[in-house]
């Protein structure tokens, strides 16, 4: 099948590469010339495990190419995927300008009946609107069919998720279009679930909102655990053993970040409001998440006192491990608050430093290793649970820091292990370990 993918951001590049890997001929279109050049040379502009390898493999086999030209990219396409961004407008609604632009560009370049597949996360009803835009702007003898095929990939494990996902959702009004998209996806060997267009659009938002709800719920339970002396790790495990609850997405921490949950929860609240439904539960989920990051800062202040002139290390800057994505990362408000409080902030991340420079205050000093970041610091915040941060020899804190105060926003270490070292250890939803050896 000849497939075109419009947009080579996260979703577009992973979609294009994965469809090429299962045997389709894929052309990815992006207006960014530099990006297209880089990708045609087999380099991925984003850090995502296995993406670059599969990109190179499929460029070499001739199954994959990148272009800036809609005309070249769409001339022989049987199916066109839209995978452009839907960022958040100031009021929380999804900004559809890139989707609408893509729709116009597609309409002017297609030469035959086309199935248009929406991969981008779009509010319910958008596929109908986009069909109208393309249909009206395209040549009058061309028929457009829309399919909503939301993606459920997580950054950092996107390729793995594509080949091992729980389901592929195909929403369509036209049975033939749905069956074409089913046959395109068949080689993934995953369960396929058919719905109408609007239900598929809603499945995406409802799934992200539900996962965000799980996270805010467990973070609220963690706050109560701290007050009553329970351990959130044990509580989450005990809850998760119930299959109706499930063990995943019950990890308490500094709240959810990234390009999806914050944006999609706000968009769903707006969508509900626009349809005269006050989505109180989801509003609370968002509120809890917004306060979660600052709670960690508050804990630091309570422990260390005045932060003026103190040197504080941040370990982990990306919004989660295995990505260089800094969007809505907890490190941003925490670094800002520390700098505003007069602290000297040093920071380390294995991958995200080049991106972090555009997001963190200019006063932040970046270091190349964990050790360099820890030297002579008064406290350290652990903000992303990278494997190398989880595997630190705990004696390192005492060896390098001026005072080993560890504020762990990701519960990276077992309390039992920590208690063997002279560390003052504050984590989420677990008792604080106070070492008498640490001067505060
Ligand atoms: C999320 C969804 O998990 C994907 O299914 C979806 O396709 C994607 O959004 C999207 O809409 O594009 P992603 O944002 O890449 O994926 O990352 P997640 O692994 O879901 O993590 C999101 C945030 O929640 C991170 O900040 C993470 O640290 C936090 N989180 C996750 C927790 O705090 N606790 C958990 O138990 C799980």
CATH of the domain at 223: 1.10.1040.10
Element (H, E) at 297: helix 280-304
Asked whether 52 lines ligand 1 (CB < 6 A), one says: no
Other C-beta atoms closer than 10 Å to the C-beta of 129 total 16
User: Can you count the helices (H) and strands (E) in the chain?
Assistant: 18, 14
Closest residue by CA, ligand 1 atom 30: 256
Within-domain flag for 431: no
Ligand 1 contacts CB of residue 374 (under 6 A): no
pLDDT on residue 388:
97
Would you state the pLDDT for residue 437? 58
Whose Cα sits closest to atom 12 in ligand 1? 260
Quote the CA–CA distance of 360 and 372 in Å, as a whole number. Answer: 19
| Tens digit of pLDDT at every position of the chain (440 positions) | 999 999 999 999 999 999 999 999 999 999 999 999 999 999 999 999 999 999 999 999 999 999 999 999 998 899 999 999 999 899 988 999 999 999 999 999 999 999 999 999 999 999 999 999 999 999 999 999 999 999 999 999 999 999 999 999 999 999 999 999 999 999 999 999 999 999 999 999 999 999 999 999 999 999 999 999 999 999 999 999 999 999 999 999 999 999 999 999 999 999 999 999 999 999 999 999 999 988 989 988 998 999 999 999 999 999 999 999 999 999 999 999 999 999 999 999 999 999 999 999 999 999 999 999 999 999 999 999 999 999 999 999 999 999 999 999 999 999 999 999 999 999 999 999 987 655 55
**Whether 133 and 190 share a structural domain:** yes
Co-location of 19 and 102 in the same domain: yes
Q: Domain limits at 327? A: 293-426
| Rounded (to 5) percent helix, strand, coil in the chain | 45, 15, 40
Contact between 200 and 169 (Cβ < 8 Å): yes
Q: Are residues 141 and 33 in the same domain?
A: yes
Please indicate, yes or no, whether residues 164 and 110 belong to a single structural domain of this protein: yes
Alpha carbon 73 to its chain centroid, in Å, reads 28
DSSP letter at 154? Answer: P
**Which contacts of 399-402 are long-range, i.e. CB under 8 A and separated by 24 or more positions?**
400/371, 400/374, 400/375, 400/376, 401/313, 401/374, 401/375, 401/376, 401/377, 402/311, 402/376, 402/377, 402/378
For residues 277 and 300, state if they share a domain.
no
For a ligand 1 pocket test, name from 84, 213, 320 the mutation site with the most ligand atoms within 8 angstroms of its C-beta.
320
Query: What is the token pair recorded at 87?
Result: 């960022």
The verdict on the CB of residue 320 being under 6 Å from ligand 1 is yes
Q: Do 128 and 228 sit in the same domain of this protein?
A: no
Any domain includes 361? yes
CA distance 88 to 68: 25
Asked whether residue 174 falls in the same domain as residue 68, the answer is: yes
Measured from the CB, is residue 154 less than 6 Å from ligand 1? yes
Strand (E) or helix (H) holding 6: strand 2-6
Confirm whether 439 is domain-assigned: no
Tell me how far the alpha carbon of residue 155 lies from the centroid of ligand 1, in angstroms. Answer: 8
At which of 195, 220, 248 does a domain end?
Answer: 195
**Does ligand 1 have an atom closer than 6 angstroms to the CB of 209?**
no
CA-CA distance, 143 to 108, in Å (whole number)? 13
Is there an atom of ligand 1 within 6 Å of 48 CB? no
pLDDT given for residue 76 in this prediction: 86
Ligand 1 centroid to Cα of residue 261, in Å, is: 7
**16, 114, 323 from 80: Cα distances, Å:** 11, 7, 27
Last residue of a domain, one of 261, 291, 321: 291
At CA 79, angle to CA 77 and CA 80, rounded to 5? 90
Ligand 1 near 339 CB (within 6 A):
no
Among residues 301, 283, 307, 253, which one has the least CA distance to residue 428? 253
- What pLDDT was estimated at residue 440? 56
In the prediction, which pLDDT does 92 show?
85
Residue of 28, 225, 260, 412 with catalytic role: 260
Residues 6+ apart with CB under 8 A from 303: 379, 405, 407, 424, 426, 440
Residues 188 and 153 in one domain: yes
Token reading at 11:
């979703």
Number of domains within the chain: 3
CB-ligand 1 contact for 152 (6 Å cutoff): yes
Determine, yes or no, domain membership for 433.
Answer: no
Q: Examine residue 32 and state whether it is found in any structural domain, yes or no.
A: yes
* Residue of minimum CA distance from atom 3 in ligand 1: 154
Query: Can you name the residues that pair with 365 across neighbouring β-strands?
Result: 346
Same domain, 315 and 254: no
If asked whether residues 17 and 138 sit together in one domain, one would say: yes
Question: For residue 359, what is the domain's CATH number?
Answer: 3.40.50.720
Is the CB of residue 155 below 6 angstroms from any atom belonging to ligand 1? Answer: yes
Q: What is the pLDDT of residue 8?
A: 96
Whether 258 is in the pocket of ligand 1, judged by its Cβ within 6 Å, is: yes
Which DSSP letter does residue 94 get?
B
Q: Which atom of ligand 1 is nearest to the CA of 152?
A: 7
Same domain, 33 and 101: yes
Look up 260 and say whether it is catalytic. Answer: yes
Terminus-to-terminus CA distance in the chain, angstroms? 65
**219 token code pair:** 């973070």
Interacting residues of 90 by C-beta distance below 8 A, sequence separation 6+:
none
Q: Is residue 265 part of a domain?
A: yes
Which of 204, 220, 261, 263 is the best mutation target for the ligand 1 pocket, counting ligand atoms within 8 Å of the beta carbon and taking the most?
261
CA distance 204 to 151: 8
In a domain, 330, yes or no: yes
**Which residue lies with its CA nearest to atom 10 of ligand 1?**
260
Residues in Cβ contact with 233 at an 8 Å cutoff, skipping those fewer than 6 apart: 252, 411, 429, 430
Question: Considering 195, 221, 256, which residue would you say is the last residue of a domain?
Answer: 195
Calculate the alpha carbon distances from 234 to 213, 374, 418, 433 in Å.
20, 30, 17, 17
Q: Are residues 45 and 187 in the same domain?
A: yes
Which residue lies with its CA nearest to atom 29 of ligand 1?
256
Q: Which atom of ligand 1 has the smallest separation from the CA of 328?
A: 26
**Inside any domain, residue 156:** yes
């Amino acid at each position: 099948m000849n497939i075109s993918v419009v947009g080579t951001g996260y979703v577009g590049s992973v979609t294009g590469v994965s469809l090429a890997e299962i045997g389709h001929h894929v052309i990815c279109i992006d207006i960014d010339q530099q990006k297209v050049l880089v990708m045609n040379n087999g380099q991925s502009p984003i850090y995502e495990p296995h993406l670059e390898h599969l990109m190179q493999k499929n460029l070499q086999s001739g199954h994959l190419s990148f272009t800036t030209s809609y005309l070249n990219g769409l001339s022989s396409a049987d199916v066109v995927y839209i995978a452009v961004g839907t960022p958040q407008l100031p009021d929380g609604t999804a900004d559809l300008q890139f989707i609408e632009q893509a729709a116009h560009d597609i309409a002017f370049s297609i030469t035959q009946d086309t199935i248009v597949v929406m991969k981008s996360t779009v509010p319910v009803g958008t596929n109908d609107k986009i069909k109208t835009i393309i249909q009206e702007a395209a040549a009058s003898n061309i028929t457009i069919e829309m399919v909503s095929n939301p993606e459920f990939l997580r950054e950092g494990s996107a390729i793995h998720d594509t080949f091992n996902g729980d389901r592929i959702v195909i929403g369509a009004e036209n049975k033939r279009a749905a069956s074409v998209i089913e046959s395109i996806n068949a080689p993934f060997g995953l369960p396929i679930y058919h719905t109408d267009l609007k239900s598929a659009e809603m499945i995406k938002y409802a799934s992200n909102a539900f996962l965000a709800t799980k996270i805010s719920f467990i973070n609220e339970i963690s706050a109560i655990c701290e007050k009553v002396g329970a351990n959130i790790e044990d509580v989450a495990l005990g809850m998760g053993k119930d299959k109706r609850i499930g063990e995943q997405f019950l990890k308490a921490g500094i709240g959810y970040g990234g390009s999806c949950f914050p944006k999609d929860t706000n968009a769903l609240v707006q969508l509900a409001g626009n349809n005269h439904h006050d989505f109180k539960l989801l509003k609370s989920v968002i509120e809890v998440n917004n306060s979660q990051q600052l709670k960690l800062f508050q804990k630091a202040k309570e422990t260390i006192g005045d932060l003026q002139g103190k040197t504080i290390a941040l370990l982990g800057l990306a919004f989660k491990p295995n990505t260089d994505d800094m969007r809505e990362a907890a490190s941003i408000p925490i670094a800002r608050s520390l700098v505003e409080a007069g602290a000297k902030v040093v920071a380390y991340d294995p991958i995200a430093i080049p991106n972090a420079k555009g997001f963190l205050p200019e006063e932040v000093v970046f270091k190349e290793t964990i050790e360099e970041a820890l030297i002579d610091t008064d406290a350290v915040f652990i903000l992303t649970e990278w494997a190398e941060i989880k595997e630190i020899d705990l004696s390192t804190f005492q060896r390098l820091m001026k005072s080993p105060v560890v504020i762990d926003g990701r519960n990276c270490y077992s309390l039992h292990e920590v208690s063997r070292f002279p560390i003052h250890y504050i984590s989420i939803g677990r008792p604080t370990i106070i070492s008498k050896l640490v001067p505060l």
